[in-house]
Structure 1
């Protein structure tokens, strides 16, 4: 093996080896009755099995067919474990892992026994592997549902929490590995393994920063310790906030905390502290409430508004954002609210 091939083998195998170690770490640190870490551990495990198979097959094409079959079979669980991991963060949904794992394990075991790779290599290459990658892609698409709150924050220019960045990184990492393998025929078979190593180390860095108490990387907003506001300041800001409503500054879809502070002639951090601590909400949620109040008035006085135009005239930049905010704040859809007021 040449020196360049040795380096290639080292870096491609390094990701798989560390993936196994991380899998073990998350499994050990998984809390009782909470499956989140277990799903992450199993996701890293099946990814590592798939990667290590790629590495050894690339450098040893005469690798045992049983080893190849195990590596390919592991792919069938990558998508489900990604889906279950992201879903486990939803408080309103309990991940039913059996229906996403047992059927695939049963099918792939059946195929392995009755259609082993060693005897049906062409069937595996032409049909089974393609089916596995399609299933992996479908779960990537299904998993996107659980990233919608994060995507919504992007649209509304809200700051992301550390856990948001973490989940997004895991999702994009798995998606990138799928893309690397599906495009391997046009690039190189080893690209998937190398991409896993690269992505794994990026995620490890995020994990380190996420758990660091000293780092400010992806830190959430500072809790204003030892910075209590005096009564005079509280009254002043309370009076000034009414200016936003009187001038209807919230009708600007891009109205931000910076613009509000400038308009009210208040320091940005003071305004932020007031909204967070005194009102108990984020600035973006406060503005949403102002916009919903405007929308409610329009619904009560106007009969021919469409939901889309109503949202825009209330300061929202999209129909979906308006509809979601209205339902969340009032508990009703705009149509239901209008109907209830007309009785």
Structure 2
């Protein structure tokens, strides 16, 4: 009975993490890049920790599954780091995508050349310690990216927003799991899985509390306390007009608030307030309107691109986003717009 209870407590976090991971990847409406990285992070952790759970209660577990479980660890650190940067809108999506692709290829090739079944000592010693070091380095990098949030946690935790609560919860949860596995030889091998279940549910409670009690009212109230001076509003708008006309930076699919603010030589917080308060738009809506204008221009002049390619040329990451945004802004589809406005 004790073993059954221990198995349930260690496995329930893995099960729910898999469900939540698939939700963020495939079922969440209005998915963002951060949802993609969070979903992949949860699935990678589930594979790693699921391996620990089943191996603890079945030492005869296939060596192939042991290899897959350890290989998933190579992705946990980078996915955590990219998740934090994506929420902070400071991510180069192309770099992140290519980095993860290279890691997966490297893991697959190494695993094929040196399988766990034939090289158990290599995986248990060298690879295991290398994984822990790499994991820890990315935790430190993630903490550095979120240093302002941790500072706010110490100085004024009431000002922590809903998305910042996500960042803190995920970083702290991943760190606790890493710590549990690093200290497993002094405690218990199953401690990592138990820590994961505990961290998973504590994180959900913190995020639920932040969403319903503290973060949203505080942020809304602060956003409208100090209005931007009218003169500064005009200056920002002029800078945007000049930048967009000369560089068409909005056609960059990896454009973020931070990148745009850097190009305009203003603070990201000021740009965010300008878009939200003065234009009454979200950053995504603001950029997509310019992208749709560019798509309309390409469709009108009889471009050599197919309609899907027009979306990519205009700055959209996917055809589905392009079609839905075009219909939402113009009230018609790209193909109908082209038929009615060709060479107009």
Normalization by structure 1: what TM-score? 0.61
**Post-superposition shift, 1:156?**
4.4
Question: What's 1:6 paired with?
Answer: 4
Rate the CA distance shift 1:34–1:223 in 2: closer, same or farther, 3 A: closer
Task: State the match for 1:200 in structure 2.
Answer: 200
Paired positions, count: 230
1:152 maps onto 2:99 in alignment: no
Per-residue deviation, 1:157 = 3.2
Q: In 2, distance between residues paired with 1:278 and 1:220? A: 13
Q: Check the 8 A contact 2:162/2:215 in 1, yes or no.
A: yes
Q: What is the deviation of 1:206?
A: 3.0
Deviations 1:25-79 (A, max 9, x none): 1112456683110100000000000111000000011111011111111100000
Superposed CA RMSD in Å reads 2.6
Q: Which runs of 5+ in 1 are unaligned?
A: 225-274, 282-326, 330-343
What stretches of structure 1 move > 4 A for 4+ residues in a row?
29-33, 275-278
Preserved contact between residue 24 and residue 31 of structure 2 (Cα < 8 Å) = no
Change (3 A) 1:186 1:223: closer
- What are the residue-to-residue correspondences of 1:88-237 with 2, within 5 Å? 88-95=86-93, 96-154=95-153, 156-157=155-156, 159-211=159-211, 215-221=212-218
- Once the two structures are superposed, the pairs formed by residues 20-31 of structure 1 within 5 Å of their partners are 20-30=18-28
Closer, same or farther in 2 for the Cα pair 1:112/1:328, shift >3 Å? closer
Task: Decide which structure has the larger Cα Rg and report it.
Answer: 1
Unmatched segments (≥5 aa) in structure 2: 229-265, 269-344
- Structure 1: distance between partners of 2:193 and 2:155: 36
- Contact 2:45–2:76 at 8 Å: present in 1 too? yes
SS at match of 2:130: helix
Deviations along 1:226-272, whole A, 9 cap, x unmatched?
xxxxxxxxxxxxxxxxxxxxxxxxxxxxxxxxxxxxxxxxxxxxxxx
- TM-superposed CA distance for 1:218, in Å, is 4.4
Q: Which has the higher contact order (CA 8 A, sep 6+)?
A: 2
Preserved contact between residue 30 and residue 36 of structure 1 (Cα < 8 Å): no
Note if contact 1:23-1:44 (Cα within 8 Å) is conserved in structure 2: yes
Aligned to 2:51: 53
> Does structure 2 retain, via aligned residues, the 8 Å contact 1:31–1:37?
no
**Structure 1 position 279 matched with structure 2 position 226:** yes
CA displacement, residues 192-247 of structure 1 (integer Å, 9 cap, x when unaligned): 00000011111222343455xxx3254532867xxxxxxxxxxxxxxxxxxxxxxx
